[in-house]
Structure 1
Amino acid sequence: MTQLGILLTNKYRLLSVAAILDVFESVNKFYAADGKEPVFNISLFAANQPDEKAVEFNDRQILSLESAAKQDLIFIPAFNATDIVAAIQENHRFIPWLRQQYQAGAELACVCTGAFLLGATGLLDGKAATTHVDACEVFANAFPQVKLQANKVVTGDGGLYTSGGSTSSFHLMLHLLQKYCGRDIAVRIAKLFSIDMDREQQTYFRTFAPAQVHNDELVAMAQRSIKSSYHNTGTIEELIKEIPGSRRNIARRFKQVTGITPIEYLQKTRIEAAKSLLIETNQQMTEVMINSGYSDPKAFRKIFRKTVGMTPTGYREKFYMG
């Protein structure tokens, strides 16, 4: 199990710590749902009076630095302070501890202005780093030996990781999840938290998950028919022809229950199938098209792009798990 430590520094930004906890606890839940042991043992560490901070984390145990075992990965959160230099002075007790942990083999990752504390250890000297864009000038003056890359979202150099401001922390966590857990888990987290690695749009993180539990058996029959036969290139009329009732009545009730028409439901089901084939198999594009129920390449690309927000090829390039 990977030992993951999160520092509760003086003047830490609560949202920063909460995001780290939320992401890695979600990873453990994914593993548990798959019948596997959790991959991360998460601990919170404080330098002074750790019990005072417990109320902010649902009374989760906060450990002192003195009681800390060797960690594999340590996160330094962003600072909630306008005077970063003063904040570093208030957190001097973490500096020798971070050095010791790093020398013992731990990797260190910092969020946003947390890079200042990592910079103060001297471990970043000669290595690449980034921080919040508005703090780059101060950082460069404070740590001239660090190779500051102000335009970078995430840097990784010698087991030391940094990220820019705001949502860049999620990009850092995705980067580390790919290393510790693999691309599949990173993609699942990206979808869960709607993290766009390219920061362009959120459409392609959306998953079609229609209501399946309801009291309309006629609609349930139509849903089952579409689910079992969506890959056939027939029309919606052909897929629901065995269901008792008029076409108009079925369509009306179907939209009442699912919020969309049977035709829209079929298209979304087919596109969801195509998405899975694109990222989980090495099928050629023609095979993906046919196996998801389409026969016209032009129509397939048009519907896919309209629904997902990018082309089938672009989707595969971004999310392929092979």
Structure 2
Amino acid sequence: MKRLIILVPDGNNNLSSIAGAHKILKRANDYYKNSGHKEVFAIQLAGVSEKVECDDGLFTIKPELNIEDVKKADLIIIPSLDHNYERTIKLNRAVIEWLYQQYKMGAEMASICTGAFLLAETGLLDGKSCSTHWIAADVFKKQYPKINLLSEKLITDEHGIYTNGGAFSFLNLMLYLIEKYFDRQTAIYCSKVFQIDIDRDSQSAFTIFTGQKDHNDEAVKKAQLTIENHFRDKISFELMANDLAISRRNFDRRFIKATGNSPLEYHQRVKIEAAKRSFENSGKNINEVMFDVGYNDSKAFRTIFKKITGLAPIEYRNKYNKMAYSA
């Protein structure tokens, strides 16, 4: 059984994201167990204080244990914070260090709404994409310029770190995690019980692709569409630039400015995202998936896959393949 910790930081938290996450994940556990499987998670609330106020003192939470007693977690959920981020960060220096160490030991992280501020303080989001409430976007961008903030996105998923947008959209993140850790059927069940709209396409989309179209360069958007529609093929970016009546140097410059990636990096990420979806949803082996997404060199495929995902292809397949997990 995996250990899931719902963090209760010091400061003024939002009760809904703590209680809501606990309730829906517990229901997923119960449903999965009643379906003939073993429970996936041992769910606990952990913090640094015996009592923590929520919603301006209207509610009080008593964490079940101190974070010092959690030597190794598998998944940690960071709740939404109030908007006094500086104060919350100062109060939770021990929590920030603990989060960093837990991730380095293999724990995955999921931040809810403005919980992204606490996660960002660890440095684990530097160079990665994340989301938070749009109200906090300007403050977040100024405070953490090394992070690719996609505040318009509902969910981001990168290297074992999940983030989501604002308010009660955390329920969609919970469904996303349930599908990842349990299975699709359990996620559907929870969506019906809690009456949460479920949209697999938007939940499965990795933000580097959807988020990178939030720009006004129509030529680059056309190039992106071509890459995504023909990602299995060899693509000549020289010819692509010529077709768009742009010099190759200017094409690369505009593409990087608009998307944050070079055309080649973008092409690689589209290929790897397709490979990830295949590993998650099919019984194909490594070589079959490699050929399907347009790679012929197994060493190159494995190298690029690990560079982008942080996992070797077989590790990713074993971790996220639904059929393998249910077996």
TM range (shorter): 0.5 to 0.7
Distance 1:195 1:15 in 2: 15
Check conservation: 2:96, 2:118, Cα contact below 8 A: yes
Q: Judge conservation of contact 2:51–2:60 (CA < 8 Å) in 1.
A: no
> Per-residue CA shift, 1:11-45, capped at 9, x if unaligned?
22111100000011101211232243321101111
Counterpart code for 1:163: N
Change in CA separation of 1:124 and 1:43 when aligned onto 2, cut-off 3 Å = same
Where relative contact order (Cα < 8 A, 6+ residues apart) is larger, the structure is 2
Q: Distance in 1 between matches of 2:45 and 2:154?
A: 25
Match of 2:116? 115
Which amino acid letter does the alignment assign opposite residue 108 of structure 1? M
**Cross-structure match for 2:32:** 31
**Structure 2 match to 1:86:** 87
Change (3 A) 1:141 1:64: same
TM score, norm. by length of structure 2: 0.57
| Contact 2:45–2:64 (CA under 8 A) maintained in structure 1 | yes
Q: Within 5 Å, which residues of 2 pair with 1:178-193?
A: 178-193=179-194
Query: Partners of 1:62 and 1:49 in 2: how far apart?
Result: 8
1:126 aligns with 2:120: no
Instruction: State how far apart, in whole Å, the 2-side matches of 1:45 and 1:177 are.
Output: 21
Structure 1 runs not aligned, ≥5 long: 200-320
Identity of aligned residues (%): 40
Distance 1:31 1:197 in 2: 18
SS in 2 for 1:156: strand
Q: How many residues are matched? A: 197
- Give the root-mean-square deviation of aligned CA atoms: 2.3
Q: 1:5 aligns to what?
A: 5
Alignment partners' CA distance in 1, 2:39 and 2:196: 22
Q: Check whether the contact 2:32–2:186 (CA below 8 A) recurs between aligned residues.
A: no
Deviations 1:85-143 (A, max 9, x none): 22111111111100110000000001000000000000000000010010000111110
Question: Which sections of structure 2, spanning at least 5 residues, go unmatched?
Answer: 201-321
Which among 61, 64, 67 is matched to residue 66 of structure 2? 64
Identify the residue that residue 229 of structure 1 maps to in structure 2.
none
Distance 2:24 2:183 in 1: 15
Q: Is the 8 A contact 2:13 2:53 kept in 1?
A: no
Contact kept? 1:50, 1:64, Cα under 8 Å: no
Paired with 1:198 and 1:84, the residues of 2 have a C-alpha distance of 31
User: Taking structure 1 as reference, are residues 52 and 13 closer, same or farther at Cα in structure 2, changes over 3 Å only?
Assistant: closer
Partner of 1:165: 166
| 4+ runs deviating over 6 angstroms | none
- Counterpart pick for 1:75 among 56, 68, 77: 77
In 1, the alpha carbon distance for the partners of 2:45 and 2:71 equals 12
| Cα distance in 1 between the residues matched to 2:174 and 2:42 | 16
Shift of 1:52: 9.1
The question of 1:104 aligning with 2:117 is answered no
Letter in 1 for 2:70: A
- Compute the displacement of 1:51 (Å): 9.1
Query: Residue 65 of structure 2 aligns to which amino acid in structure 1?
Result: L
The 5 A counterparts of 1:205-224 are none
SS at match of 1:174: helix
Distance 1:112 1:36, change over 3 A: same
Deviation, 1:176, is 1.1
